[in-house]
Amino acid sequence: MCKCDHTYSTAAYIGEVEQLSKYHGIFNWHGELHRLWTTAESKGMAYVFFITRLATTLNRSRRSVLVYFNDASKANWEIKGE
């Protein structure tokens, strides 16, 4: 029999969930529109989640997707908080 103390507080987890916001992203990948939703702590983290998900969906490396959307001369993505 284990004599360890396995008591855990869920307060920290509940607090973290309350800090998450919903984000909606629209990304134009060479003429293909991708609409994505996520929850994240900030707009920047939502961007990272979206880039990762797009890379998987498009079967591309995360770096190539990031480079494409980081081009300042293109207005090919938008993220809005809900």
Tokens of 52: 């990762």
Range list of H helices, 19-76: 43-58, 62-69
* Predicted confidence (pLDDT) per residue in 13-62, tens digit: 555 555 899 999 999 999 999 999 999 999 999 999 999 999 999 999 99
Q: Calculate the alpha carbon distances from 27 to 11, 23, 39, 80 in Å.
A: 36, 13, 17, 12
pLDDT on residue 71: 85
pLDDT on residue 15: 53
Name the pLDDT band for 5 (thresholds 50, 70, 90).
very low
| Domain definitions of the chain by residue range | 25-81
